[in-house]
Amino acid sequence: MFKEILELGEWLEFEGKLVPAGYYTYSDSSPIKWVVHILGISPLECYIEEAEINRPRPKSGRTKRTDLAHPIADEAGYVFGIDRKKDGIDTDAGKKHTAFMSLLEKISQNEDVNDVELKKAILVIKEILTEGILRSDNRFDEIMNKDWVSFVLESGTLSGKHLFEHPDIKAFWVKELQANSIKSKTRDYEVEGDCSICGKPRQLLKRMPGVKLYKPIPLHSYNKDAFVSFIDGTEVSKRAHIGQCFICGDTIARTLNYLTGNKLHYKIITQDRKDGKLNTDSARNQFALFWLKDEQPMEVGETTIDPAELLKNLSLVISRTDSTEKDAPPPDLMHLENMLNTPWTGRDASINIANNAFYLLLLSPNKGRIAVRDWIYISLDKLQQNLKTFLDAQRIIDPDGKEKRCFGIPDILKAIEASNISKPPNKAVEIANPNISRQLLRTAYLGEPPPSALLEAAVMCMRNMKIFEKPDIQHVVMATLKMFLTHRKERMTEMETLDTNRNTPGYLCGMLLSILEEAQLRASRWKINTTLVDRFYGSASSAPVSVFGTLIRRATTDHFPKIRKQQLGYMDLEALMESVQSTIDQTGGYPKTLSLEGQAEFSLGFYHQRAKFSEGRPTKK
């Protein structure tokens, strides 16, 4: 996994898409707010300009430490020693400023900093800060402790450039970070060994750089003895690390941060919300990062497949509706279906597609670290087949009998959570079991069987009578049940609509309940609020023999005479009921109980027959 991420990072660096080593893209809420312009060195002239600049800046990974400063660009508490905060006073501002000045001195004395003008500029910055020259500037009193400050030289070869972006500063910062990352408070010596990724003998990290999901945290979960690949001393959970060098660890962190900041490569699968509040430390939050092994255009016959468009379509199955939009439509899978139905044939095309691969990394935050939930990699030719199977297995007619549809994983996770049935769509949450979402990803991309827990959740959802008031949710649940029963089966596409040749007891009993409901509806001319389904669906779907005798007698004596008298299709409906009853008798009669799969068959038979009735029913004016 790390090897593939490292290869992606090297390619992104070659393309100029990755931030420099040791640098980080800060959020929009933390821009460079103040720029110190140095107009001349002799005589010394400078002024402060208010700005709003967002660009990658040095990142030390400091948390509560005050002795870790950033080179030439940092918060005003470090640069000027300003202690003003929105919520009080920073008592550590003096220590921070001392750390910043010490780092400037270290840069000026460093042998790897060769640019003469850069060294002169650093000496000037030290003079400006030491003499407090900028304190007379009218804007100085507006600067707050957490505001970012940068320096720009306005003369010579460095004119107009932010000094922290100078190549010599970048090289110095990499070595500085490397030195800081291999030591700790309890260990002031370096540890050398073979890096577990590149295999080269190098100095090893004590912890990996942060990866930003909700907030920057390290990518590892090696906090127990059983998971440790390197031990230095006692207290394993505090002193163990995963045997990676700084170059590999930093490149992996920057690559993952690039992916999380790019919508083409990043999707939120599930979020842990309670009462509208997001729990950012919960392991139930799941994030998918994905990419292609080779992002070069592929020729398929006379068609050129754009890698960005291909990746966008491949991720539609994990795309979710924006929870902030109340009436936002679900992601349209039509583009994905059209792409999957296009034959990827031809000798050259087959070779290119088979050699290319799709990678997906599933991550979860977990109290101060990131846990890897799953790692998926598969060639594009196999991926096409698996995704097509995933969609074909769940495609089913809607409750009105008009349109066939299939659904993405986030829609399935929301629909099968029984607690969502009484909630509006924008308040729906994902299912509580995160393993179901992980296994669904493997079903979609790797072709593995759907998780067994999915069947139980969907069946339990159908026992809640409120689902019959939510046709959209019911449609997704029925697609889920169909997928579980038909995934990778020969008759996968035959259950998209009513299958009159399916002679399983559960399916036939479900059809029969729908026929009896239709008889009740016709007898009352559809002027009825509560049908027999509201009272008997649960028992009929789990123990058919206990209720169908009573329901059939009631239909024969109460409902069918009214249908015949009112000429509402008596002959056809009676013939249909008798045909289904006869087939049930041939299969051994009404079952005493139905297993979970039998109950899923029951739900599908009921749903299909009901949709068939809805399809033939005239539309109300």
Which amino acid is it at 420?
A: N
Enter the pTM of the model: 0.82
**Is the bond leading into 218 cis (omega within 30 degrees of zero)?**
no
Give the bridge partners for 421, in sequence order.
none
Residue with tokens 């073979």: 194
Instruction: Give burial (CB, 10 Å; 0-12/13-18/19+) of 515.
Output: buried
For 224, 337, 414, 598, 606, the CA distances from 392, given in Å and listed in that order, are: 43, 9, 20, 21, 21
Match 């495609």 to its residue by tokens: 395
148-153 vs 161-162, strand pairing mode: antiparallel
- Compute the half-sphere exposure of residue 545: CA atoms within 13 Å on the CB side of its CA: 8
In single-letter form, the type of residue at position 257 comes to: N
Query: Rounded to 5 degrees, what are φ and ψ at 106?
Result: -65, -40
What does the pLDDT read at residue 81? 92
Token duo for residue 301: 């016959």
The helix (H) or strand (E) run that includes residue 345 is none
**CA pseudo-torsion sign 608, 611, 612, 613:** positive
User: 414's torsion region: left (phi>0), alpha (psi -120 to 50) or beta?
Assistant: alpha
Pairing mode of beta strands 32-40, 148-153: parallel
Identify each DSSP E strand in 239-293 by its residue range. Answer: 266-270, 273-274, 277-278, 286-292
pLDDT of residue 186: 53
Question: Which position has the token pair 């087959």?
Answer: 350
Question: Whole-angstrom Cα distance, residue 482 to residue 476?
Answer: 10
What is the rounded distance in angstroms from the CA atom of residue 509 to the CA atom of residue 507? 6
Q: How many CA atoms lie within 13 A of 62 on its CB side?
A: 15
In order of 359, 370, 566, 583, the CA distances from 517 in angstroms are 49, 52, 17, 19
Q: Where are the beta strands (DSSP E) in 229-369?
A: 266-270, 273-274, 277-278, 286-292, 298-300, 303-305, 357-365
Other C-beta atoms lying within 10 Å of the C-beta of residue 317: 24
Which residues, given as ranges, of the chain have pLDDT below 50?
A: 221-231, 233-241, 323-325, 346-350, 621
- pLDDT attached to residue 26: 80
Bridge partner list, 273: 278
Q: Is 555 exposed, middle or buried (0-12, 13-18, 19+ CB in 10 A)?
A: buried
Residues 6+ apart with CB under 8 A from 143: 33, 34, 48, 76, 80, 82, 84, 149
Instruction: Count CA atoms within 13 Å of residue 504 on its CB side.
Output: 19
User: How far apart (Å, rounded) are the C-alpha atoms in residues 20 and 13?
Assistant: 8
